[in-house]
Structure 1
Amino acid sequence: MKFSHKYIIVGAGSAGCVLANKLSEDPKNSVLLIEAGPMDNFSAIKMPLAASSLFKNKKYGWCYETEPEINLNNRAINWPRGKTLGGSSSINGMLYIRGQAEDYENWESLGNPEWGYRDLIKYFINLENNQNYQDQFHGNFGPLWVETYEKNLDASLAFLEACKENNFKLNKDFNGSDQEGYGRYQVNIKNGKRFSSADAFLKPILDRPNLDLLTSTRVEKIIFSGKKAIGVKIKNAKGFNIIACTSEVILSGGSINSPQILMLSGIGSKAQMERHGISCIKDIPGVGQNLQDHLTVNISCKIKNLDTFSELMTPFKMINNLYEYYFSKNGLMTYPASDIGVFFKTNQNISRPDAQIHFAPGAGKYNKNGAMKPSTGITASVCNLRPKSRGHLELTSSRADDSPKIVANYLSEPEDLKVMIDGVKRTREIFKTNVMKNLSATETLPGKNCITDQDIEEFIRNDALSVYHPVGTCKMGIGTECVVNNDLTVKGLQGLRVADASIFPEIISGNTNATCNVIGAKCADLILKS
């Protein structure tokens, strides 16, 4: 192991893998990529339908939970985050969604020039290898495999027909000119296997002599000389070590780990750090603030005449499913977390969709180990795309091994609850169509006794879950609440940047992974141009 590098990247996730790829293209750049988790050679990581089995796997994930959420009847909410090569792209639902153009125009208007849609679309295109579209919105020569999932079960095809009958418009490309409508999701699945950010950006270049990778290695803190980052303190099976950096340290640990590392290093709220005996290097109160996430709730129905996951996952049929997967990479086990999506407006007075449905031809509940226990039926999970509620995270101690306290603060803004209620009502209408009546669709969740808005509110408070899209805890911008500048440098410090979902000024209208890839590429350009 070398003890000095030009660049040190902390976190081999969705942004970190891209950064490592781009920064190490020049053989003169010595790059070290540090990942807290192990290599991603666990079979369940590559098997798409096994994704939920990883949510409580402590070897490959952080297994975070929020504090009891006061507006969700004091329930602690699971927040799985990946801890392996690829980060959360190795345990997520594999959906490829960019959000809406207006999301990025809003970022720019908040004091972030060159972060608008017209600036970022070129990154999306250059990174993408789309198998279905050749047009001005898509790339066909990038490292990241993207394809429309088309091996849909008949239950999913029935949901598509129900959306059509319910007067949603068909959208064949959620990442094209307009996001609104219903259609099939695009996914990061190649030849029946998950195609993570590590698969796309890191593994093809691991043989570069100027790129070093450390796995199962935790960064305890950043080392400073005055206000300049000059290295990191690490801990792994060999003990503690200091690794020097001659140019820049880039944090790509995600919306929980990056602010935690900053605070452990003396960057954050001075008062909070002093409570834990941490010397303050830079008082930035915004570290760990501005936390945002997508909250979702499941509407499930039993149907007749068509198989769902439950019928196809009996012990006998699972033998065939696994045989088909391992020998031909086909069949049920290649299914993403959701294959059909809908983006819609909860009221017609707004200009763009504010709700998203993730549909799957299955139903069930998560067991205590985090895996989904299937039950017969189909599920449409609906979320509010642009919540106003803001949470925070804070240290629980000065030890890196101690998880931070996560307060998501869901539904603290009344507007968020109204969007959720309206979203549930609109989603339930899909299950009342003739298509669904012909399948004898019977609602099991929330059920026939959930009638009034007050009933729906109580259902949401009792059953809502995270979509696992935490962002915003190292906010980019110009305000006093911001942590990084628009070049991703940490305010008032030298040699330190943050590049991951934590820099989102505001959450985007959709799944966040593709945008994290873009942040990694954009950060690399900013570094190399400087």
Structure 2
Amino acid sequence: MVGAGSAGCVLANRLSQDPRIRVLVLEAGGSDAHPYVRAPVGFLKTFQDPRFNWCYTTEPGPGVDGRAIFFPRGKVLGGSSSINGHLYVRGQARDFDTWAQMGNRGWSYDDVLPYFRRAEDRSSGADDFHGSGGPQHVSDIHERHPVCEAFIAGAEQAGVPRNPDYNGAVQEGVGYYQRTIRKGRRHSAATGFLHPVRNRPNLRVETGAHVLRIDVEDGRATGVTWRQHGKVHRSRAGAEVVLAAGAINTPHLLQLSGIGPAGLLRDLGIPVLRDLAGVGAGLQDHYAVRVVHRVTGSATLNERARGPRLWWEIARWLATGGGLLAFSPAHVGAFVRSRPELELPDLQFVFTPASYTDGVVGQLQREPGMTLGVWQMRPESRGHVRARSADPDAPPAIQPNYLADEIDRRSIVEGLRWGRRLLASPALEGYRGPETLPGAAVRSDDELLAYARAKGATVYHAIGTCRMGTDPEAVVGPDLRVRGLEGLRVVDASVMPTMVSANTNAATLMIAEKASDMIREAARTGAGRPASGTGTEHS
């Protein structure tokens, strides 16, 4: 298995439950045993730290004023679940029903809900939509800030209903986010799924293991070649090779291995083993813009993050697991229809009683502030991931093509107008200071779009680059096997055929839960098993 991110950790746990299955997990990153990873607020530190992050950058995009945008991806046990914003958001039932209607039988909402529930340990207990006792802990916020309470009240004044469970029967509404945090500590996929089973005799996890290529013989993936501490190893698979390296690294590794668009591979001097035009195509991501105000009449998180108060917050977190260090970056969420004629919400908002330099997550400002971010949940724009060379150490070219589609441009402008409407509510009157971004001078549609082009950024929700489907452009089928090759599956966010109306981590966990049943069934029946056994060679 390539990758110990969200999907890889789930697979490592579920597959190794069967003592007859031996699992080798190869993770390019290192240990997650670091305070920056364990403390929820530590995401501010891991955001641009190459110890935990691939620190990719997109290609300059015409829809974003020719900017190259920083594009973080987890490079650590737990993958992006170890550096993300902790939000647990599944999406709408319609998302998964659409997958099924596209030919992916077995992926409707009714089909996948049991896997969401199986993965989950909901702090408030199980019900028809939530699980209890699963590996992934999901909790409610521990401290409700008065500015957050005012924002929720103001959203209700603007006609947005209060919704205590957007992962339940209905997504639309406003309420506090559910989070992958337990007792004030990040509860990543590594924490929940991997670490409790690391001592199983049939599970081996190697960190600092950079996979260089997939080895293919006679149309079958037989293993992988990987490098660790300068030494090259070759491991053979007794049953299957599973790629769980994410929506960027999985298509990149396939291309480096000769599996992808034939023209691209030939241009790079890579022998073509399988011409699959869809490998690396169809990249989707959420593109967010933010409205920022100064705050009066209340302290915000900005002031709690410096000086003596910060040391007190650190001591509080160490002693109780509460306070500033236990917060996720977003506290309140809202799911809104940009236009009344829409049947379902198409805009997602993230609100926090804090503000950052230039409005982008990173350095907190000194003055009290509040931030409301927004993105279109189901973008129409498509991009790509492409190898730049045959060198496995060269990062791929990432082009999301943000705002390439007119629907995306129109929606982001509507999102900014909705954001201003929510922040202008009477309930926030006692807290609302001047708008600092985009600023009072930015009013027209053209001006708002220009602001979005200049200041928007990724929300780190890359999907779709090894799309699941039954059409000729699909990379994997509904069983997640790579088309035209034996012994090779993809199990990560790259297989999503369309974007979910949500943050993507919860759906990735679900995909891996479902895939683990598929793989275990194949192992039980011996379907597709080669004659040779497992092993590792060194060179």
Question: TM tier, shorter chain?
Answer: over 0.9
Superposed counterparts of 1:47-446, under 5 Å: 47-365=39-357, 371-375=362-366, 376-446=368-438
Note if contact 2:293-2:432 (Cα within 8 Å) is conserved in structure 1: no
Question: What does residue 515 of structure 2 align with?
Answer: 523
% identical equivalent positions: 37
Note if contact 1:367-1:373 (Cα within 8 Å) is conserved in structure 2: no
Partner Cα distance (1:127, 1:366) in 2: 37
Partner Cα distance (1:133, 1:247) in 2: 38
Note if contact 1:185-1:341 (Cα within 8 Å) is conserved in structure 2: yes
Aligned CA distance change for structure 1 residues 195 and 435 (closer, same or farther; 3 Å): same
SS of the equivalent of 1:422 reads helix
SS of the equivalent of 2:281 reads coil
Note if contact 2:359-2:437 (Cα within 8 Å) is conserved in structure 1: no
Question: What does residue 491 of structure 1 align with?
Answer: 483
SS of the equivalent of 1:502 reads helix
SS of the equivalent of 2:357 reads strand
Partner Cα distance (2:419, 2:230) in 1: 53
Partner Cα distance (1:291, 1:359) in 2: 27
Note if contact 2:35-2:42 (Cα within 8 Å) is conserved in structure 1: no
Note if contact 1:309-1:374 (Cα within 8 Å) is conserved in structure 2: no
Q: CA deviation at 1:220?
A: 0.3
Partner Cα distance (2:154, 2:309) in 1: 28
Note if contact 2:145-2:353 (Cα within 8 Å) is conserved in structure 1: yes
Question: What does residue 30 of structure 1 align with?
Answer: 22
Partner Cα distance (1:409, 1:238) in 2: 36
SS of the equivalent of 1:187 reads coil
Aligned CA distance change for structure 1 residues 500 and 366 (closer, same or farther; 3 Å): farther
Q: CA deviation at 1:314?
A: 2.5
Note if contact 1:150-1:184 (Cα within 8 Å) is conserved in structure 2: no
Which amino acid in 2 is paired with 1:372? Q
Which residue of 439, 442, 445 maps to 1:450?
442
Partner Cα distance (2:420, 2:123) in 1: 33
Note if contact 1:56-1:371 (Cα within 8 Å) is conserved in structure 2: no
**C-alpha RMSD over aligned residues:** 1.3
Q: CA deviation at 1:59?
A: 1.1
Aligned CA distance change for structure 1 residues 440 and 493 (closer, same or farther; 3 Å): closer
Question: What does residue 5 of structure 1 align with?
Answer: none
Q: CA deviation at 1:319?
A: 1.1
Query: Does 88-97 or 325-334 show the bigger shift?
Result: 325-334
Q: CA deviation at 1:529?
A: 1.7
Note if contact 2:213-2:256 (Cα within 8 Å) is conserved in structure 1: yes
When normalised by structure 1's length, the TM-score is 0.97
Note if contact 2:98-2:108 (Cα within 8 Å) is conserved in structure 1: yes
Question: What does residue 461 of structure 1 align with?
Answer: 453
Partner Cα distance (2:453, 2:221) in 1: 44
Partner Cα distance (1:307, 1:473) in 2: 43
Q: CA deviation at 1:238?
A: 4.5
Which amino acid in 1 is paired with 2:364? K
Partner Cα distance (1:367, 1:349) in 2: 31
Question: What does residue 6 of structure 1 align with?
Answer: none
Partner Cα distance (1:60, 1:43) in 2: 12
SS of the equivalent of 2:216 reads strand
Note if contact 1:255-1:470 (Cα within 8 Å) is conserved in structure 2: yes
The answer for unaligned runs of 5 or more in structure 2 is: 523-539
Partner Cα distance (2:359, 2:149) in 1: 28
Q: CA deviation at 1:52?
A: 2.3
The number of residues matched between the two structures is 521
Which amino acid in 2 is paired with 1:404? P
Partner Cα distance (1:228, 1:502) in 2: 21
Note if contact 2:147-2:428 (Cα within 8 Å) is conserved in structure 1: no
Partner Cα distance (1:255, 1:507) in 2: 12
